[in-house]
Chain A
Amino acid sequence: EVQLAESGGDLVRPGGSLRLSCVASGFAFSSAWMSWVRQAPGRGLEWVAIVEGDADGGTAHYPDPVRGRFIVSRDDSQNTLYLQMNSLKTEDTGVYYCAIYKSDRYDSRPYLPNWGQGALVTVSS
Protein backbone atom coordinates (compact mmCIF):
# COMPACT_ATOMS: atom_id res chain seq x y z
CA GLU A 1 0.00 0.00 0.00
CA VAL A 2 1.30 3.43 -0.96
CA GLN A 3 1.76 5.74 2.02
CA LEU A 4 2.91 9.35 2.10
CA ALA A 5 3.32 11.06 5.47
CA GLU A 6 4.12 14.79 5.67
CA SER A 7 5.51 16.54 8.71
CA GLY A 8 7.04 19.86 9.63
CA GLY A 9 4.08 22.19 9.27
CA ASP A 10 4.12 25.12 11.69
CA LEU A 11 3.38 28.78 12.35
CA VAL A 12 6.16 30.99 11.00
CA ARG A 13 6.69 34.74 10.69
CA PRO A 14 6.82 36.43 7.29
CA GLY A 15 10.35 36.25 5.98
CA GLY A 16 11.03 33.07 7.91
CA SER A 17 11.91 29.57 6.77
CA LEU A 18 10.44 26.11 7.22
CA ARG A 19 11.26 22.63 6.00
CA LEU A 20 8.61 20.03 5.26
CA SER A 21 9.31 16.31 5.05
CA CYS A 22 7.39 13.50 3.39
CA VAL A 23 8.22 9.89 4.19
CA ALA A 24 7.12 7.50 1.45
CA SER A 25 6.53 3.77 1.40
CA GLY A 26 4.87 1.09 -0.69
CA PHE A 27 6.34 2.01 -4.09
CA ALA A 28 9.64 2.51 -5.89
CA PHE A 29 10.47 5.93 -4.49
CA SER A 30 13.75 6.54 -6.28
CA SER A 31 12.25 6.25 -9.75
CA ALA A 32 9.12 8.22 -8.93
CA TRP A 33 8.67 11.83 -9.86
CA MET A 34 7.41 13.53 -6.72
CA SER A 35 5.56 16.78 -6.12
CA TRP A 36 4.37 19.24 -3.55
CA VAL A 37 0.90 20.70 -4.06
CA ARG A 38 -0.56 23.36 -1.81
CA GLN A 39 -4.01 24.60 -1.01
CA ALA A 40 -4.63 28.02 0.49
CA PRO A 41 -7.54 28.22 2.97
CA GLY A 42 -10.82 27.83 1.09
CA ARG A 43 -9.03 27.83 -2.26
CA GLY A 44 -8.05 25.43 -5.02
CA LEU A 45 -4.93 23.38 -5.68
CA GLU A 46 -1.57 24.68 -6.90
CA TRP A 47 1.64 22.78 -7.54
CA VAL A 48 4.72 24.34 -5.97
CA ALA A 49 7.47 21.84 -6.77
CA ILE A 50 8.13 18.76 -8.86
CA VAL A 51 11.31 16.70 -8.76
CA GLU A 52 12.13 14.08 -11.36
CA GLY A 53 13.06 10.54 -10.48
CA ASP A 54 16.65 9.45 -10.08
CA ALA A 55 16.79 7.70 -13.46
CA ASP A 56 15.54 10.83 -15.21
CA GLY A 57 18.09 13.17 -13.67
CA GLY A 58 16.35 14.43 -10.57
CA THR A 59 15.76 17.92 -11.94
CA ALA A 60 13.55 20.20 -9.87
CA HIS A 61 10.83 22.41 -11.29
CA TYR A 62 8.98 25.35 -9.74
CA PRO A 63 6.20 27.75 -10.73
CA ASP A 64 6.91 31.47 -10.74
CA PRO A 65 5.31 32.29 -7.34
CA VAL A 66 7.87 30.19 -5.43
CA ARG A 67 10.88 30.00 -7.73
CA GLY A 68 13.98 31.23 -5.94
CA ARG A 69 12.38 30.78 -2.49
CA PHE A 70 11.43 27.07 -2.35
CA ILE A 71 13.79 24.14 -2.83
CA VAL A 72 12.63 20.56 -3.28
CA SER A 73 15.02 17.74 -2.58
CA ARG A 74 14.92 14.01 -2.03
CA ASP A 75 16.86 11.39 -0.09
CA ASP A 76 16.25 8.17 -1.95
CA SER A 77 18.14 6.17 0.69
CA GLN A 78 15.54 7.29 3.25
CA ASN A 79 12.53 7.39 0.89
CA THR A 80 12.01 10.97 1.95
CA LEU A 81 11.01 14.11 0.05
CA TYR A 82 11.70 17.57 1.40
CA LEU A 83 10.50 21.09 0.73
CA GLN A 84 12.67 23.91 2.04
CA MET A 85 10.66 27.11 2.10
CA ASN A 86 12.50 30.40 2.54
CA SER A 87 11.45 34.06 2.57
CA LEU A 88 7.93 32.97 3.41
CA LYS A 89 5.03 35.28 2.65
CA THR A 90 1.54 35.40 4.12
CA GLU A 91 0.21 34.12 0.78
CA ASP A 92 2.21 30.91 1.28
CA THR A 93 -0.22 29.94 4.04
CA GLY A 94 -2.02 26.69 3.35
CA VAL A 95 -1.96 22.93 3.49
CA TYR A 96 0.99 21.39 1.67
CA TYR A 97 0.47 17.94 0.20
CA CYS A 98 3.14 15.52 -0.89
CA ALA A 99 1.97 13.57 -3.93
CA ILE A 100 3.38 11.13 -6.44
CA TYR A 101 3.60 13.05 -9.72
CA LYS A 102 4.17 9.88 -11.73
CA SER A 103 5.80 6.54 -10.97
CA ASP A 104 8.48 7.01 -13.64
CA ARG A 105 8.96 8.59 -17.05
CA TYR A 106 6.94 5.84 -18.74
CA ASP A 107 4.04 5.73 -16.29
CA SER A 108 0.89 5.00 -18.30
CA ARG A 109 -1.39 6.27 -15.54
CA PRO A 110 0.40 9.42 -14.45
CA TYR A 111 -0.30 12.59 -12.51
CA LEU A 112 -1.06 12.56 -8.83
CA PRO A 113 -2.43 9.07 -8.14
CA ASN A 114 -1.52 9.22 -4.43
CA TRP A 115 -1.47 12.01 -1.85
CA GLY A 116 -0.42 12.43 1.76
CA GLN A 117 -2.63 13.84 4.49
CA GLY A 118 -1.06 17.30 4.26
CA ALA A 119 0.95 19.62 6.48
CA LEU A 120 -0.43 22.99 7.59
CA VAL A 121 1.83 25.97 7.10
CA THR A 122 0.71 29.28 8.55
CA VAL A 123 2.68 32.42 7.75
CA SER A 124 1.61 35.23 10.03
CA SER A 125 3.05 37.90 12.28
Chain B
Amino acid sequence: DVVMTQSPLSLPVTLGQPASISCRSSQSLVDSNGHIFLNWFQQRPGQSPRRLIYKVSNRDFGVPDRFSGSGSGTDFTLKISRVEAEDVGVYYCVQGTHWPLTFGGGTKVEIK
Protein backbone atom coordinates (compact mmCIF):
# COMPACT_ATOMS: atom_id res chain seq x y z
CA ASP B 1 0.00 0.00 0.00
CA VAL B 2 1.05 3.60 -0.60
CA VAL B 3 2.24 5.21 2.61
CA MET B 4 1.22 8.82 3.16
CA THR B 5 3.42 10.81 5.53
CA GLN B 6 2.29 14.17 6.85
CA SER B 7 4.32 16.82 8.62
CA PRO B 8 4.29 18.41 11.02
CA LEU B 9 2.26 16.36 13.46
CA SER B 10 1.17 19.52 15.24
CA LEU B 11 1.07 23.06 13.91
CA PRO B 12 0.54 25.97 16.33
CA VAL B 13 -0.33 29.08 14.36
CA THR B 14 -1.17 32.69 15.12
CA LEU B 15 -4.54 33.97 13.95
CA GLY B 16 -4.18 35.77 10.64
CA GLN B 17 -0.88 34.10 9.84
CA PRO B 18 -0.30 31.51 7.11
CA ALA B 19 0.01 27.77 7.69
CA SER B 20 1.43 25.01 5.56
CA ILE B 21 1.06 21.24 5.82
CA SER B 22 3.19 18.76 3.91
CA CYS B 23 2.14 15.35 2.62
CA ARG B 24 4.51 12.89 0.98
CA SER B 25 3.63 9.62 -0.69
CA SER B 26 5.82 6.53 -0.89
CA GLN B 27 5.34 6.42 -4.65
CA SER B 28 4.23 8.78 -7.39
CA LEU B 29 0.52 9.58 -7.39
CA VAL B 30 0.38 10.34 -11.12
CA ASP B 31 -1.82 7.77 -12.86
CA SER B 32 -1.53 6.49 -16.42
CA ASN B 33 -3.71 9.36 -17.68
CA GLY B 34 -1.72 12.03 -15.90
CA HIS B 35 -4.31 12.52 -13.13
CA ILE B 36 -3.29 12.86 -9.50
CA PHE B 37 -5.88 11.73 -6.98
CA LEU B 38 -4.68 13.50 -3.87
CA ASN B 39 -7.35 14.98 -1.60
CA TRP B 40 -7.26 17.02 1.60
CA PHE B 41 -9.75 16.77 4.45
CA GLN B 42 -10.48 18.88 7.50
CA GLN B 43 -11.87 17.44 10.71
CA ARG B 44 -12.95 20.03 13.23
CA PRO B 45 -13.22 18.91 16.87
CA GLY B 46 -16.25 16.70 17.36
CA GLN B 47 -17.20 16.74 13.69
CA SER B 48 -17.03 14.40 10.72
CA PRO B 49 -14.26 14.85 8.17
CA ARG B 50 -14.99 17.27 5.35
CA ARG B 51 -13.26 17.26 2.00
CA LEU B 52 -11.59 20.57 1.18
CA ILE B 53 -9.49 19.82 -1.88
CA TYR B 54 -9.66 17.13 -4.59
CA LYS B 55 -7.11 16.24 -7.26
CA VAL B 56 -4.34 18.26 -5.62
CA SER B 57 -5.64 21.78 -6.07
CA ASN B 58 -9.41 21.91 -6.68
CA ARG B 59 -11.47 23.38 -3.87
CA ASP B 60 -14.76 21.71 -3.05
CA PHE B 61 -17.95 23.76 -3.09
CA GLY B 62 -18.12 26.23 -0.24
CA VAL B 63 -14.46 25.95 0.77
CA PRO B 64 -12.95 29.38 1.46
CA ASP B 65 -10.31 30.52 -0.99
CA ARG B 66 -7.78 30.90 1.82
CA PHE B 67 -7.28 27.14 1.41
CA SER B 68 -5.09 26.05 -1.48
CA GLY B 69 -3.43 22.82 -2.53
CA SER B 70 -0.39 22.22 -4.67
CA GLY B 71 2.17 19.61 -5.54
CA SER B 72 3.03 16.83 -7.93
CA GLY B 73 4.58 13.40 -8.00
CA THR B 74 5.15 12.52 -4.36
CA ASP B 75 5.15 15.91 -2.60
CA PHE B 76 2.01 17.87 -1.80
CA THR B 77 1.12 20.89 0.30
CA LEU B 78 -2.01 22.35 1.83
CA LYS B 79 -1.77 26.05 2.59
CA ILE B 80 -4.01 28.29 4.62
CA SER B 81 -3.25 31.88 3.66
CA ARG B 82 -4.58 33.46 6.87
CA VAL B 83 -5.64 31.14 9.66
CA GLU B 84 -9.00 31.81 11.29
CA ALA B 85 -10.33 30.37 14.55
CA GLU B 86 -12.68 28.02 12.66
CA ASP B 87 -9.69 26.36 10.95
CA VAL B 88 -8.68 24.59 14.16
CA GLY B 89 -8.76 20.82 13.71
CA VAL B 90 -6.94 17.91 12.14
CA TYR B 91 -6.08 17.85 8.45
CA TYR B 92 -5.59 14.65 6.48
CA CYS B 93 -4.24 13.95 3.02
CA VAL B 94 -5.64 10.94 1.18
CA GLN B 95 -4.50 9.31 -2.02
CA GLY B 96 -6.82 7.46 -4.39
CA THR B 97 -4.52 6.92 -7.36
CA HIS B 98 -3.41 3.49 -6.17
CA TRP B 99 -5.70 0.83 -4.70
CA PRO B 100 -6.37 0.80 -1.82
CA LEU B 101 -7.12 4.34 -0.71
CA THR B 102 -4.67 5.41 2.02
CA PHE B 103 -4.73 8.19 4.56
CA GLY B 104 -2.02 10.35 6.02
CA GLY B 105 -1.70 10.32 9.79
CA GLY B 106 -3.06 13.84 10.23
CA THR B 107 -1.78 17.26 11.22
CA LYS B 108 -3.35 19.05 14.15
CA VAL B 109 -3.72 22.79 13.62
CA GLU B 110 -4.16 24.81 16.78
CA ILE B 111 -4.06 28.47 17.69
CA LYS B 112 -1.04 29.75 19.62
Contacts and interface: CB of A to CB of B under 8 A. Distances in A.
A61 B100 contact: yes
Interface stretch (A9-17, A18-26, A39-47): A39-47
A113 B96 contact: no
A85 to B, nearest CB: 19
B48 interface: yes
B49 A45 contact: yes
Contacts of A116: 48
B49 A112 contact: yes
Nearest to A6: B48
Interface string B87-112: 00000101010001101111000000
Contacts of B49: 37, 45, 97, 112, 115
A25 B48 CA distance: 18
Nearest to B96: A111
B102 to A, nearest CB: 9
Interface stretch (B15-23, B50-58, B68-76): B50-58
Interface residues of A, number: 20
Q: How large is the interface on B (under 10, 10 to 19, 20 to 34, 35 or more residues)?
A: 20 to 34
Contacts of B104: 44
Interface string A96-125: 010001000000011111111110000000
Interface in B24-68: 37, 39, 41, 48-51, 54-55, 58, 60
Question: Considering residues B92, B103, B104, B106, which has the most beta carbons from chain A within 10 angstroms of its beta carbon?
Answer: B103
B94 A111 contact: yes
Interface of A: 37, 44-47, 50, 61, 63, 97, 101, 109-118
Interface of B: 37, 39, 41, 48-51, 54-55, 58, 60, 92, 94, 96, 100-101, 103-106
18 contacts: A45-B92, A45-B94, A45-B103, A47-B100, A50-B100, A63-B100, A97-B49, A109-B55, A110-B54, A111-B39, A112-B49, A112-B51, A112-B94, A113-B51, A113-B54, A115-B48, A115-B50, A117-B48
